[in-house]
Amino acid sequence: MTSTPHDGSPALGAPSILCGRTADLPEGTVADLVAAHARRRPDAPAILGDGPTQSYAELWQHAGRMAAALAEAGVSVGDQVAIWATRTAPVVAAALGVMALGAAYMPIDPTYPAARVRRILEVGRPKVMVSAEPNSLAGSLPRGVATIDIHSGPRDGAGLEPAARQDHIAYTVFTSGSTGQPKGVLVAHRSLVNYLGWAQELTDFGEDDATPCFASLGFDHAVTCLWLPLAVGGSVQLVPDSWDPRPWLAARDRPFAFVKITPSHVRLFERIARPDYRAITRTVMFGGERLDAALVASLGERLDGVHLLDHYGPTEATVGCTAYRFERSSVPAEGSLPIGVPVWNSRAYLVDEDLRPVPVGEEGELVVGGECVAVGYLGGDEEDKRRFLDEASISNAAVRDGFRAYRTGDRCVIREDGQLHYLGRLDEQVKVRGFRIEIHEVRDLAESVHGVAQAAASVSQKGLGGLELFVVPDGAAPSELVAQVLERLRAELPAAAVPERVFVVPNLVVNAHGKWDPEATKALAESGSAETGSAESGSAETSGGGS
């Protein structure tokens, strides 16, 4: 993969447009790249973990068996295949086999509540569900969805020849979207290959390198850690428990090429082990949430000599669409860090509400265009039409016909340093441990519980930055109300969207502008005028809306 430098930084007063490098991409897909490694270096380690190391030959053979079983079940190009996505080598092989067929893999996080899994499957309408325990799922699947054992297929699967093209869909990842309902984001192979080539250059990943994968495979945070190593010919270390870093935090003879973590991960790891990143990895890639300078500074000399990246992007921009390189010595005393410049073959525009460009130095909504943009939402609807645009409609520059653009809903600004800076959301969407969560979805569900007169939610500014919910009772006993609210939320939402603390307060405090004041309401709750309850939502898988 080669790229040509392109300085897309606009001058002050010019429209706010940043351009990524123009790059020549290889033909083929991730499946083609893995197949080539299996032929050229069959004994090279592909997947590391608690069990035996799996070579590229073994990985490709298992992918071939899976592809044969899927084809026998009627799966063909363009179909969706759901995968019960535990972090195991057979799951990786299954996803690879799906992609090789030209179908799209749809990872389902096993920690999701049953109601959410059903909604995803109803929207996604996969041809089959692949699982290590298919019989345990058969009764809960929508009608017409067959199950396949992840270990099925002919004994010899080495003859698999990838049928996928770059315009086929590689995977479908579900995110809440701005409607609060699960929305399947369709990502094509070409966008994935473009992203992986850019990420390889960013991390200097080579055939002898490895990286850990502890994020939920149901979220695109894991795409970087899983497919980048395998596309390059390196190794991925699968970590079963995403919130137990001990399997990979120990010093290594050869440090990982990179570790991708959310700021919430960093805070957790500090409580568990205070890791010395110098002995673990060459690069730390932060993503999934806003990165505060104070958090980086708090790690001190344990980051000396480690390359640092602030990686930004919604799921709709193929994992991530910008990145900022920096070192610990350049971190400011306070504030957030830039989110950088666009990925290869992609562009970032700042526009007003009418999609007109704003000048450099003024804030606007971030719209991304080019190879990074996903195909759209599964099924397509009004939300698809509102969010996904023809890039030519907002660009003054000549762009290739067919390039799409995506309205992120994020407020950003290009400052004098020529870097993109994130300012916040235009709506109520927030990130918690890398998960993209709709505040109004949590609020509406809480207010649907009998005995709740009003509810509001916010992200705590302390600790791990979990979600906090405030409810005003309507005659119900506070202790019973907390239990009822948590029961409802746990039944409907992913674990990360279940508030860690629920406060029952006499009222929601508003400020002088008539808007809800989270900090004042929290102070009221902690003053003794309210009763509280803990969500104790347990370990939550990470995933990044991004990333």
The three-state (H, E, C) secondary structure of 204-235, written as one string: CCCCCCEEEECCCCCCCHHHHHHHHHHHHCCE
| Least confident interval from 183-192, 325-334, 348-357, 514-523 | 514-523
Burial class of 185 by CB neighbour count within 10 A (0 to 12, 13 to 18, 19+): buried
> pLDDT value at position 157?
62
Predicted confidence (pLDDT) per residue in 412-433, tens digit: 999 988 999 998 888 766 777 7
Round to whole Å and give the CA distance between 269 and 79: 40
Across residues 79-89, what is the average pLDDT? 95
> pLDDT value at position 538?
36
Q: What mean pLDDT value characterizes the chain?
A: 86
> pLDDT value at position 131?
92
Considering the chain, tell me which residue range(s) the CATH 2.30.38.10 domain(s) occupy. 2-22+346-429
pLDDT at 542 > cutoff 80: no
| Least confident interval from 110-119, 178-187, 219-228, 263-272 | 178-187
> pLDDT value at position 273?
84
Predicted confidence (pLDDT) per residue in 4-50, tens digit: 334 445 555 567 899 999 999 888 999 999 999 999 999 999 999 87
Q: How far apart are the first and last CA of the chain?
A: 23
Q: Are 170 and 33 in contact (CB under 8 A)?
A: no
Q: Are 102 and 78 in contact (CB under 8 A)?
A: yes
Cβ neighbours of residue 330 closer than 8 Å, sequence gap 6 or more: none
Round to whole Å and give the CA distance between 437 and 115: 17
pLDDT at 70 > cutoff 80: yes
Round to whole Å and give the CA distance between 60 and 39: 9
Across residues 283-300, what is the average pLDDT? 91
> pLDDT value at position 529?
58
> pLDDT value at position 441?
81
> pLDDT value at position 396?
65
- DSSP letter string over 42-54? TTSEEEESSS--E
Q: CA triplet 492, 108, 458: central angle to 5 degrees?
A: 40
| Least confident interval from 88-97, 366-375, 463-472, 510-519 | 510-519
Q: Are 486 and 479 in contact (CB under 8 A)?
A: no
> pLDDT value at position 334?
74
| Least confident interval from 54-63, 235-244, 275-284, 372-381 | 235-244
| Least confident interval from 283-287, 352-356, 474-478 | 474-478
Residue 509 CB neighbour total at 10 angstroms: 18
pLDDT band at 546 (very low <50, low <70, confident <90, very high): very low
- Going through 279-397 in order, the beta strands assigned E by DSSP cover 283-287, 307-312, 322-326, 341-342, 346-351, 364-370, 376-377, 388-390
Considering the chain, tell me which residue range(s) the CATH 3.40.50.980 domain(s) occupy. 32-164
Give, as one character, the DSSP assignment of residue 525.
I
pLDDT at 155 > cutoff 90: no
pLDDT band at 1 (very low <50, low <70, confident <90, very high): very low
Round to whole Å and give the CA distance between 140 and 115: 10
Which of 147-161, 249-263, 451-465 has the highest mean predicted lDDT (pLDDT)? Answer: 249-263
The CATH number given to 432-534 is: 3.30.300.30
> pLDDT value at position 535?
43
Fold of 2-22+346-429: Luciferase; domain 3 (2.30.38)
pLDDT band at 114 (very low <50, low <70, confident <90, very high): confident
| Sequence-separated contacts (24+) of 397-400 with Cβ below 8 Å | 397/17, 397/347, 399/347, 399/369, 399/370
Residue 179 backbone phi and psi in degrees, to 5: -90, -10
Cβ neighbours of residue 52 closer than 8 Å, sequence gap 6 or more: none
pLDDT band at 528 (very low <50, low <70, confident <90, very high): low
Question: Going by CATH, does the domain composed of 32-164 fall within 3.20.20.70?
Answer: no
Considering the chain, tell me which residue range(s) the CATH 3.30.300.30 domain(s) occupy. 432-534
Q: Can you read off the two tokens belonging to residue 359? A: 């000048």
pLDDT band at 243 (very low <50, low <70, confident <90, very high): low
> pLDDT value at position 208?
97
More confident residue, 413 or 517: 413
> pLDDT value at position 116?
83
pTM for the predicted model, two decimal places: 0.82
Burial class of 228 by CB neighbour count within 10 A (0 to 12, 13 to 18, 19+): buried
Predicted confidence (pLDDT) per residue in 161-173, tens digit: 999 999 999 999 9
* Cβ density class 188-204: b for 16+ within 10 Å, e for less: bbbbbbbbbbbbbbbbe
- The H-or-E segment that residue 249 falls in is helix 246-249
pLDDT band at 3 (very low <50, low <70, confident <90, very high): very low
Q: Are 185 and 374 in contact (CB under 8 A)?
A: yes
